Chains A and B, each alone.
Chain A
Amino acid sequence: MTACKGNRDSTYDVHSDQQSAAVTCTLNWVGHWLSEDKRELLVREACKEVSFMNQDMHINLRFPQELNAKQIPQMAAFIVAETKKDTPDWDVVWLDDRIYESASNLLNDPEWGKKHLYDFSEDSQFLASQKEFIIKDPTYINHYGGILPGPFVEGFYHVLWYNVEVAKKIGITIKDFGMTIEDLLKYFEAAQRYNEAGNPYIAPFYDTKEWNLSMLLFQQILRSCHPDIAFWKQEGNKKQKLAYLRETLDIYQRMAKYEPLYRNHRNVNWFETIDFPLQDSALFYFNGTWMYNLWNSLDSNFLAKMRPAVLPEVRTTNAYLGGYNPSFAVMKKSRNLEKAKALIKYWSSPSLAEKWVRYTKNPTGVKGNVSNNELGGDALSDLMMYLEGRFKGNAYYYTNTNYLLGSNNPDLTGFIGDRLKDILEGKITSEQAYRMILERCNF
């Protein structure tokens, strides 16, 4: 490993000041989105472009899959390993809220980022490149232990993907907008009737082993019990929050009547079954809008089959389930800190933000040159326009249960997720699940 010369102290840039073509350093970069359609392309293009702009630097781009860090826990472990080194081998790493949360758990330090990651929260040029709500909403800085580790390029919303052909088979028409909990229950009921009629089994609600998709729906239902997102951002209100928890669990119990959960969910891996919904085997698939690139790499015409619907709400709210991820972070002790920052600057550029939207059909937290990056045109774009227009970037997503149980309680994300599945499978009641959760808390 060689370190780049000519680093600048006060500012960073996409390029260095080199006038010479001689390579003086190598920047090691753990990328993201391998095999995710244009997301991967975006990373590779960025790599090439930054290389061209910094010809004195060689970028060594590797993807987590190539580093045995394909999944979130593995990537978290990879980063944690880097933090142990005096000088990390990898200058720029893939990072999102879940990885940070996972690493926090591994390091048992929610604020590990301050020690090992470069903080852009003091960088005015960086701050100017991010959309206002990224800077103003403490959610984002709180997700990373009080720092802003990188450009919040990746934006996403969780939606209720449904298979149009399956819905047609079942004989229902799904509401793309304005779906209620009652509507969702009716859809599950219809699916159950379809299955009980002796038809080939269709999973009403597809879920997997390692990524509990039930939790996504849980966050949406729970949070929409209160119309204002500020309610959840505040510590306290424990009684009311628990009441909402109970209400949510009761809704899950109502769902359980229709056996909605995919029967084989405990045996399937999310990464390995991405194409499952495309095979007309499931009706609903609770997941992010990033599925656009994942499915697009499998079938460029998938939108004709898989259609996104806005998640149902208990009450009309002012926020939606989704979020913005920095995607990449710079290791604080990087030997090529300026070059690494230059790469991050590139990811903060308006042209890249627009390219992101164009490539992924997903929102971004980086400012573009145009006010609205997406102009509609297909089901996903229309939905994006609706969500952007209605919530104006006011998205939320919690990687732990502090918003519900308070920071003085342990993160029960996994536990609650398992209990939700138990309810849906009819193993326990909502009442039992509620008590089990409370038993783990220090109320």
Chain B
Amino acid sequence: MIKNLDVLKFSWNQLGAKIGVAIIITQILGLAILGVYTANYFLKDLDNKVEQQMTSPGYLMSKGLLSYQAAEDPITMKAIVGAEIKECLVIGLDKKIYYSLQVSHRDKEVKDIAILNEPDVFGKRLEGNYFKRMNRDGISNLVSISPISIDGSKFLGYLYIEASDEKLSASRRIIILTFTIGIFICVVFTSLIILFLFRHFITRRIRILLERIEEMKDGIIDVVENPHFSSDEIGQIHSAFNELNNKLRTLILSIKSGSDNLAIAGDEVNNSAQILSSGSNKQAASTEQVSSSVEEMVSNIHQNTENNDKTTQIAKQAADSTRKVARLAKESLTYINEITGKIKVINEIALQTNLLALNAAVEAARAGQYGKGFSVVAGEVKRLADRSKDAANEINELSVKCVNISKESYQMMTELSPQMEETLKLVEDISAAGLEMRNGSDQINNALLELNQVTQQNAATAEELSGNSDALIQQAKELKAILAYFNVVK
């Protein structure tokens, strides 16, 4: 309620006041024109009604609805006419006064009564009503003269009524006053209503919007629920503003959060940059040390490489020799195996010989005496076979031993050969590795040199980064400080 009274506070800065004043002026002009027109209409109507009222008794008398006697009854006449009756006369065509409100006028004639000197209507037929405002000693009176007839045909006389104009004047004044007051009240009420409506539907909502904008200007951006305004333009502005508010709020919150993170990150970067700078410096120093060490190592590696080359040559020779020994052992074994085979042939021959000897002995046996010589030969042969066999067995044993040794030797060589190969390979690998190491160490050395340069650069960059991160932190702080202006409730 008190808030609603704000509408009464006048200020040219208020939109409502400007529009209100415009409306009120328009209303005053409009209502004044309408009031004057209507008041004039009513005043004319009032005059007509008064004339009608003042002449109505004559009409009623002519119709037999009102007795002539009523002219002498001020209450009745006042009730009909609606005004204070000062004189009421029923005058005959013969100019005699038949009825008179004032006793002194009774039974007199027109010529005896001063107020009847004007107008000169008596003594002749009066067709219409006579109505006039007359001044009696400075007082305005209403005078009407109406014809009295019977059924509109027989003219009997006149009804003269003189009534006070006071009531009519008062009525006129009341009408004017009523219209004036009415217009005033109308203006006031309609203005209040319009202003209230304007305030309720426009100013208030604009003010709410303005308050929001002012809050926003002050950095206060709250969460705003869309008030249940209508969907008119202002409602739409409210909705759009609320949406903007909420989006802005979200954006500011994000920026705030980002600035916080940026500040933190700045700090971290600064720390890292410092660490990096420090590390880079240390690294540079270390790199230099490593570089010198590596140079020395490279020199050693070069030496090792040369040694490796030599070892490789030796290992190659050893491997070749080994492979050769192995091949020879293999060949020896082959030969021995061939010998063994041959022994087996000898042994088979011995066996065959023995068998033959045996057969020969058998045959010799069978040939009895005849074969005794032969049995001796067969026996010799058998012995020889046995001896061959024995010799073959001995050789075989020896060859088996030799084979075994050869096998073992071959085996050993065979086994040694891969090792030798492997050794060679290892040596070669070592050599290759040494070479690669040399190359690598050279590269390392070069890399270290580059690393040293890079480290130097990194240190410089870290220094620069540290400086930049300080600036970033400063910027983040400044951004936070700026964003701190917005009071955004999460």
A residues sitting closer than 8 Å to B (CB atoms) are 14-15, 17-23, 45, 48-49, 51-53, 55, 351, 355
Contact = CB atoms under 8 A, between A and B. Distances in A.
B155 to A, nearest CB: 7
Contact of A17 (B92, B95, B154): B154
Contacts of B92: 21, 52, 55
Nearest to A369: B65
B155 A49 contact: no
B157 A351 contact: no
A52 B154 contact: no
21 contacts: A15-B150, A15-B156, A17-B154, A20-B93, A21-B93, A21-B94, A48-B68, A48-B69, A48-B98, A48-B99, A49-B67, A49-B68, A49-B69, A52-B90, A52-B99, A52-B156, A55-B92, A55-B93, A55-B94, A55-B96, A351-B64
Nearest to A49: B68
B123 to A, nearest CB: 7
Interface string B143-167: 0000000100011110000000000
Interface of B: 64, 67-69, 90, 92-96, 98-99, 123, 125, 150, 154-157
Given A19-B155, A48-B98, A55-B94, 10 more contacts: A17-B154, A21-B95, A22-B94, A45-B69, A49-B67, A49-B68, A52-B68, A52-B92, A55-B92, A55-B156
A299 to B, nearest CB: 24
A355 B70 CA distance: 12
Contact of A55 (B67, B99, B157): B157
B217 to A, nearest CB: 84
Contacts of A15: 150, 154, 156
Contacts of B125: 19
Nearest to A48: B98
B156 A53 contact: yes
A52 B157 contact: yes
Contacts of B67: 45, 49, 351, 355
B98 A51 contact: yes
B151 to A, nearest CB: 10
B464 to A, nearest CB: 123
Q: Which of A14, A23, A351 has the largest count of B CB atoms less than 10 A from its CB? A: A351
A19 B154 contact: yes
B123 A53 contact: no
Contacts of B64: 351
Give the 10 A-B CB pairs with smallest separation, nearest first. Answer: A21-B94, A21-B93, A52-B98, A55-B94, A55-B92, A45-B69, A49-B68, A15-B150, A52-B92, A52-B68
A300 B389 CA distance: 204
A412 to B, nearest CB: 45
A22 B95 CA distance: 10
Nearest to A19: B155
A14 to B, nearest CB: 8
B102 to A, nearest CB: 16
A19 B153 CA distance: 10
B150 A53 contact: yes
Contacts of A51: 98
A14 B93 CA distance: 17
A14 B68 CA distance: 14
Contacts of A23: 94
B12 to A, nearest CB: 70
Nearest to A351: B67
A18 B93 CA distance: 10
Contacts of B69: 45, 48-49
